[in-house]
A and B are shown apart, each in its own frame.
Chain A
Amino acid sequence: MTVDLRPEQDHRARAARLERALGPAADPANPLGHRAVLAADERGELLADGERALREFGLNAEFVPEHLGGRFTRADRLGQLMRAVFRRDCALGIGYGVTSFIAALPVWADGTPDQQARVGRTLLAGGRVVAAYTELDHGSDFSRTEFTAEPGPGGYVLDGGKQLVNNISRAEMAVFFARTADGPGSRGHSHLLVDLTALPAGRVRRDRRYPVSGVRGCLLGGIEIDGCPVPGDALLGAEGGAMETVLRVFQVTRAVLPSMVVGVGDTQLRTVLEFARDRQLYGRRLADLPSARSTLAGCFADLLICDAFASVVARSLHLRPGETSVGAAAVKYLVPKLLQESSYRLSVQMGARSYVRTGPYAIFQKTARDLPVVALAHAGSAVCQASLVTQLPRLAERGWRAALAGEAPEPVDGGSVYDLDAPLPPLHLGGLELNARGADSLAGDLVRLHTVLAGQPASAPLAALTGLFVTELRGLSGRALALAPRDRTVLAGPRAFTLADRYAHVLAAAAVAGVWWHARRTAPDTPAADPAWACVALHRLAGRLGLRPGPLPPEPQDRVFADLTARHEAGHTFDLFRGRLASGPA
């Protein structure tokens, strides 16, 4: 039977197939279930059966663009799909795949047809391409990179070391971020695409492994290279162009990785919900105590915030690529923070079970250890916050001023960034701008939506909540314009970092409100169209900023909690996508 599936059906089918390939998480007989995942973690190994299953599924194809034979078409869908892996095991999520996705992005952006074809073939065959960026002495400050690629006979000579590179010991290829010119500056670095198997033995060591506190199965290794020649065609993109490419393409990863990590929060919440339904306290179930219910409903709402924000920004990569330098940094800053704080609150409900490494809820302590590592992976929160800081005054001057005056132009996509099931134009990595030039259409959309809601008596609660964020934006605007000169640079003080934090919350609120509003119009039967989640989500964001939203009415919180338990019983995911979990014996 040859049925030409529409892309959306195809996407849901793929997500279901991936979930089936992993089998039921709770089944102790499932070789890919949580029991096996925990055992592998205790051994410090990546689950071999898991790697095999993902290879058979062809997960790498999800990272390869369609024209090269893969299935990577949409940033938002990649994030949502990968949640299945992150729900099961962060180590597999990072260790099988994500590193290849990160490494491949500069190749898709800058590579020659031959380089792209080689990387595409390697990945589609189940191979590994790794991203060799980190040097422990310099952290996220790539500009201080010491690893060099000097001109040599017939190409370049590589020299130096990289650390904390996932899978470097067993990868076929690597993308190196290397210094190609002396001195500071942003044109002194280049990407090199290197066939690791072709490097002369005796000049390379890549067997060092770094033990880590979370994702313990990941093979985080180092490579030391002592004067290795590589051919001239190893150069990826223009010489001196690597920093620019990084600032473009890592907008994709900054949006998509946090979206994937929503899966970790899903597993944590599910585990604690099960605990709360089993545990008897004061003659009733923990899940029936008001305080526990409130925590669980709140953590669920936080997951929906994370999903809405990450998905809207991932869609913006396709639709509003001029602005995502801001949105992606805000997502990579705020989503891990929300998930981390949620993890802590859930651990309080679990008590001792939150750190016991054996027994029925042991997966929780693993996810709690994995989460901080995954949150910092690739771009730390401080870096993302700092990059927001530098853009704040111009955002205030241009985007927010127009938004608050009701003069922001209506986006040409008609708000499709919020319509999570709407089709998307192709992703053009070269179209991602390094700087938003003060444009902020999310803020414009928020102000516009607030005005509409304020005119509808039935929407009074959401009008009031969105109004809090409009007022907050007005306050931020004045404070951003008043920032001292030094506070507009990466040397900014805590005051500027606070503004960046608050602004990220406003953007998240804009995403939540936009997703709910568009779902209400285009998909009224979906969970995203229910005002209850938007109400609880906005209330939480407002509360985090100290905006005094008043007491949360019981009705929306009860509805969110009822949705949570209904999903748990029906085996649905705790996100806006609401996929189906694998059930039954493996």
Chain B
Amino acid sequence: MTDTSQTTTETAETVRAWLVDRVAFYLERPAADIDVSAPLVDLGLDSVYALTLCGDVEDRFGVVVEATMAWDHPTVNAMTDHLTGLVSGDR
């Protein structure tokens, strides 16, 4: 039980950090500037871009996600929650 939740926490932090890096990459801003609770759209990433991010997620974590994932989970935190389940369930 403790093991599982610890693994999940680690997974979540890995996913979150990677997403922050990725968003920072596209925005060409330092990772420290990325607000993990802000909607991506407010950060400057538009709808079509959100589709691209889903592709990156698939390539990095080897999972298949809906192209609209970043629409339905519009912040880094929300995507982290969504992906952590998928990723840890897969590993």
Q: Which residues of A contact B (CB under 8 A)?
A: 143, 183-187, 243-244, 386-387, 390-391, 394, 397, 433-435, 437-438, 484-486, 488-490
Contacts and interface: CB of A to CB of B under 8 A. Distances in A.
What 4 A-B pairs are tightest by C-beta distance, nearest first?
A434-B67, A186-B47, A184-B41, A186-B71
Interface residues of B, number: 24
B68 interface: yes
Nearest to A389: B48
Contacts of B3: none
Interface string B5-24: 00000000000000000000
Nearest to A489: B49
B34 to A, nearest CB: 13
A583 B28 CA distance: 63
Nearest to A241: B68
B67 A489 contact: no
Given A437-B58, A489-B45, A186 B67 contact: no
Contacts of B28: 484-486
Contact of B55 (A244, A387, A394, A486): A394
21 contacts: A184-B42, A185-B39, A185-B47, A186-B50, A187-B71, A187-B72, A244-B68, A244-B71, A390-B51, A433-B67, A434-B51, A437-B55, A484-B28, A485-B25, A485-B26, A485-B28, A486-B27, A486-B28, A488-B52, A489-B26, A489-B45
B35 interface: no
A243 B41 CA distance: 15
B54 interface: yes
Interface in B57-73: 58-59, 67-68, 71-72
Contacts of A244: 68, 71
A217 to B, nearest CB: 35
Interface of B: 25-28, 39, 41-42, 45-52, 54-55, 58-59, 67-68, 71-72, 74
Contacts of B59: 394, 397
A243 B47 contact: yes
Nearest to B66: A434
B63 to A, nearest CB: 12
A490 B68 contact: no
Given A185-B41, A186-B68, A397-B59, A489 B51 contact: no
B8 to A, nearest CB: 27
A484 B72 CA distance: 27
A248 B69 CA distance: 15
A24 to B, nearest CB: 46
Contact of A435 (B25, B26, B67, B72): B67
Given A184-B42, A187-B71, 20 more contacts: A185-B71, A186-B41, A187-B72, A187-B74, A244-B68, A244-B71, A387-B48, A390-B49, A390-B51, A394-B55, A434-B68, A435-B51, A435-B52, A435-B55, A485-B26, A486-B27, A486-B28, A489-B45, A489-B49, A489-B52
